[in-house]
């Protein structure tokens, strides 16, 4: 058995009303039993006058000084009488509670300790606690279910002794609160079993959802909390025990937060602060003018913002990096497959090479993160490691050199028109000396250069050393355009037997012409 205490904060005094007449009557009856307090001990004014009249005329001739003392005597008698009455009332309240005293909502004005004890015992005997749950469901725990009994103690008499009887009159006009502790015992195991079998406890438990920032398509707003059905067993048990020991008859589980409550509500300042911080990022809008505008604005940025259980906002920089990788893979053209149509109308696919756009993803990721954090609104090109002539399908633009290996012919196209063309001899197609296909660019131009082959291990010297007048390389591995006075003819199938080491051999005059027309950076497209 467990002994519990109740602090009844509702033991107090309220303004007196007509219901207290019975108490005052009872007080009057008590006073009438005091010495000199009955009606027979008082001489009426009429009888006193009769006696005075029988004393003779001589007594009426007292001097005026003697007559002047009587009002004071009368006043003193009145005051004395009132004092006796006041003290008599005070004596009454030595064994009775003051006016306007309530215990557990019941009026005990002028009542005794025994009256309070009897009332509390009756309360315990008939006690029932209704547990109000969600969805209009309720359960009842009765005193008999848990063997609830009242334990007599001195608390009521102690509360009576704590009264200031001499100041009883103040209880008529002012409120006085008194805490009364009442002790009960009940079967702890039986109560725990009743709690475990409450419908709210045995039902399916759902977690609450706290209020949180939610993107509505324009900004982050506070989404309302949602209450679940998951019971906070510790709180529920404590509240039920408290209610029982206080003889309270109805426990609302939601009002007393006996369910696991949402960590935040729509009124929580932390949630609004998180929304405000997240919205500060949404002010940014960065536009990249590619072949079509690519805009990084709130629609993207909102997905890069998160919050934790403490409503601390995080800007996901890793998500920005991932987006930039996708951006680069879409707009990087170096090495990708492109389509070209030759001046003869032939369409070829060309892939590989070094020419094309390459976004500097690391640098531009940092730039974009800073722009978003600063709420910047701007249009700009991304940072590039390498650029090309245009963002179109043919990123080399309209001015370029084209080599058709199958046709053994080349063209120099300027602004979409053929400015120069010639037959050529490309590399010997043996797997080692082939001219590489792909999109490249002229690295530099040089006059009177000596072309050297790989070092021959047997001699320690280059496998060949060939002087040329005009050297225009497009790879760092030694592939380029140059004059080839040793070739007796160009074009046709000569490359299959007298092909170069990978370079594009040109007639001297054509090499000289091309040398004077191009510069470093001119795109070069080589295809079959």
Query: Smallest Cα–Cα separation from 409: which of 509, 353, 490?
Result: 490
Q: How far apart are CA 446 and CA 465, in angstroms?
A: 16
CA–CA distances in Å: residue 319 to residues 61, 101, 212, 377, 458: 120, 69, 21, 20, 56
Q: How far apart are CA 283 and CA 113, in angstroms?
A: 72
Would you state the pLDDT for residue 302?
98
The string of pLDDT tens digits covering residues 372-394 is 999 999 999 999 999 999 988 89
Position 180 confidence tier, pLDDT thresholds 50, 70, 90: low
- Kindly tell me if the per-residue pLDDT of 404 is higher than 50: yes
Mean pLDDT of the chain: 87
Q: What residue ranges in 381-445 does DSSP mark as E strands?
A: 384-386, 400-404, 409-414, 417-423, 438-441
How do 504-506 and 480-483 pair as beta strands? Answer: parallel
Q: In the chain, what percentage of residues exceed pLDDT 70?
A: 85
Would you state the pLDDT for residue 101?
81
Position 42 confidence tier, pLDDT thresholds 50, 70, 90: very low
Position 175 confidence tier, pLDDT thresholds 50, 70, 90: low
Give the DSSP letter of residue 297: S
Q: How far apart are CA 154 and CA 151, in angstroms?
A: 10
Q: How far apart are CA 527 and CA 404, in angstroms?
A: 5
Query: Smallest Cα–Cα separation from 523: which of 360, 357, 359?
Result: 357
Output 256 or 115, whichever has higher pLDDT: 256
Q: Per mean pLDDT, which range of 2-11, 135-144, 178-187, 450-459 is the poorest?
A: 2-11
Q: What residue ranges in 15-161 does DSSP mark as E strands?
A: 102-103, 106-107, 128-132, 138-142, 149-151
Structure tokens at 55: 């004393």
Residues 150/4, Cβ–Cβ less than 8 Å: no
Q: How far apart are CA 420 and CA 512, in angstroms?
A: 11
What is the mean predicted confidence (pLDDT) over 408-436?
A: 97
Position 82 confidence tier, pLDDT thresholds 50, 70, 90: confident
CA–CA distances in Å: residue 86 to residues 81, 167, 254: 9, 10, 51
Position 25 confidence tier, pLDDT thresholds 50, 70, 90: low
- Kindly tell me if the per-residue pLDDT of 348 is higher than 60: yes
Burial class from Cβ neighbours inside 10 Å (0-12, 13-18, 19+) for residue 410 reads buried
What is the mean predicted confidence (pLDDT) over 356-370?
A: 97
What is the mean predicted confidence (pLDDT) over 48-55?
A: 46
CB within 8 A of 298, min separation 6: which ones? 218, 219, 282, 285
- Kindly tell me if the per-residue pLDDT of 46 is higher than 60: no
Residues 335/353, Cβ–Cβ less than 8 Å: yes
Collapsing DSSP to helix, strand or coil, 23 comes out as helix
Radius of gyration for the chain, computed over Cα atoms and rounded to the nearest angstrom: 54
Residues 289/390, Cβ–Cβ less than 8 Å: no
The string of pLDDT tens digits covering residues 441-482 is 999 999 999 999 988 898 889 989 999 999 999 999 999 999
In the block, tokens 């730039």 appear at 367
How do 523-527 and 177-186 pair as beta strands? Answer: unpaired
What is the mean predicted confidence (pLDDT) over 87-107?
A: 80
Collapsing DSSP to helix, strand or coil, 72 comes out as helix
Q: In the chain, what percentage of residues exceed pLDDT 90?
A: 66
- Kindly tell me if the per-residue pLDDT of 113 is higher than 90: no
Position 183 confidence tier, pLDDT thresholds 50, 70, 90: confident
- Kindly tell me if the per-residue pLDDT of 11 is higher than 80: no
In the block, tokens 């390498």 appear at 386
Q: How far apart are CA 243 and CA 132, in angstroms?
A: 13
Give the DSSP letter of residue 259: B
- Kindly tell me if the per-residue pLDDT of 429 is higher than 90: yes
- Kindly tell me if the per-residue pLDDT of 110 is higher than 70: yes
Would you state the pLDDT for residue 51?
45
């Amino acid at each position: 058995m467990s002994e519990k205490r109740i602090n009844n904060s509702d033991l107090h005094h309220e303004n007196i009303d007509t219901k207290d007449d019975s108490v005052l009557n009872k007080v009057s009856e008590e006073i009438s039993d005091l010495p000199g307090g009955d009606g027979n001990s008082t001489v009426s004014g009429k009888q006193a006058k009769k006696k005075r009249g029988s004393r003779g005329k001589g007594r009426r001739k007292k001097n005026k000084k003697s007559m002047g003392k009587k009002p004071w005597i009368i006043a003193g008698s009145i005051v004395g009488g009132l004092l006796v009455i006041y003290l008599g009332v005070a004596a009454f309240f030595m064994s009775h509670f003051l006016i306007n005293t309530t215990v557990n909502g019941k009026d005990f004005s002028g009542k005794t300790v025994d009256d309070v004890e009897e009332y509390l015992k009756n309360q315990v005997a008939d006690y029932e606690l209704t547990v109000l749950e969600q969805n209009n469901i309720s359960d009842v725990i009765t005193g008999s279910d848990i063997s609830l009994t009242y334990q007599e103690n001195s608390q009521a008499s102690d509360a009576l002794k704590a009264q200031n009887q001499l100041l009883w009159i103040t209880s008529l006009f002012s409120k006085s609160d008194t805490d009364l502790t009442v002790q009960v015992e009940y079967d702890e195991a039986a109560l725990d079993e009743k709690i475990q079998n409450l419908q709210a406890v045995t039902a399916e438990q759902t977690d609450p959802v706290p209020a949180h920032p939610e993107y509505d398509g324009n900004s982050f707003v506070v989404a309302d909390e949602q209450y679940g059905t998951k019971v906070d067993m510790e709180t529920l048990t404590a509240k039920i025990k408290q209610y029982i020991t206080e003889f309270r008859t109805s426990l609302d589980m939601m009002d007393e937060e006996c369910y696991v409550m949402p960590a935040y509500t729509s009124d929580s300042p932390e949630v609004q602060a998180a929304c405000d911080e997240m919205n500060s990022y949404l002010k940014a809008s960065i536009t990249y003018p590619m072949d079509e505008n690519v805009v990084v604005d709130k629609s993207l940025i909102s997905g890069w913002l998160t919050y934790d259980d403490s409503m601390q906002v995080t800007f996901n920089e890793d998500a920005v990096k991932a987006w930039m990788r996708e951006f680069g893979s879409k707009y990087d053209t170096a090495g990708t497959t492109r389509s070209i149509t030759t001046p003869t109308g032939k369409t070829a696919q060309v892939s590989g090479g070094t020419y094309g756009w390459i976004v500097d993803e690391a640098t531009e990721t940092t730039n974009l993160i800073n722009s978003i954090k600063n709420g910047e609104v701007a249009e700009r090109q991304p940072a590039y490691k390498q650029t090309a002539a245009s963002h179109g399908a043919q990123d080399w633009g309209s001015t370029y050199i084209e080599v058709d290996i199958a046709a053994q012919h080349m063209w120099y196209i300027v602004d979409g028109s053929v400015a120069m063309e010639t037959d050529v001899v490309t590399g010997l197609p043996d797997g080692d000396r082939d001219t590489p296909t792909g999109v490249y660019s002229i690295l530099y131009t040089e006059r009177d250069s000596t072309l050297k082959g790989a070092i021959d291990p047997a001699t320690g010297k280059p496998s060949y050393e060939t002087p040329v007048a005009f050297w225009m390389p497009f790879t760092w591995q030694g592939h380029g355009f140059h004059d080839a006075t040793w070739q007796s003819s160009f074009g046709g199938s000569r490359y299959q037997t007298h092909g170069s080491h990978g370079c594009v051999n040109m007639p001297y005059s054509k090499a000289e012409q091309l040398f004077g027309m191009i510069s470093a950076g001119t795109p070069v497209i080589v295809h079959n």
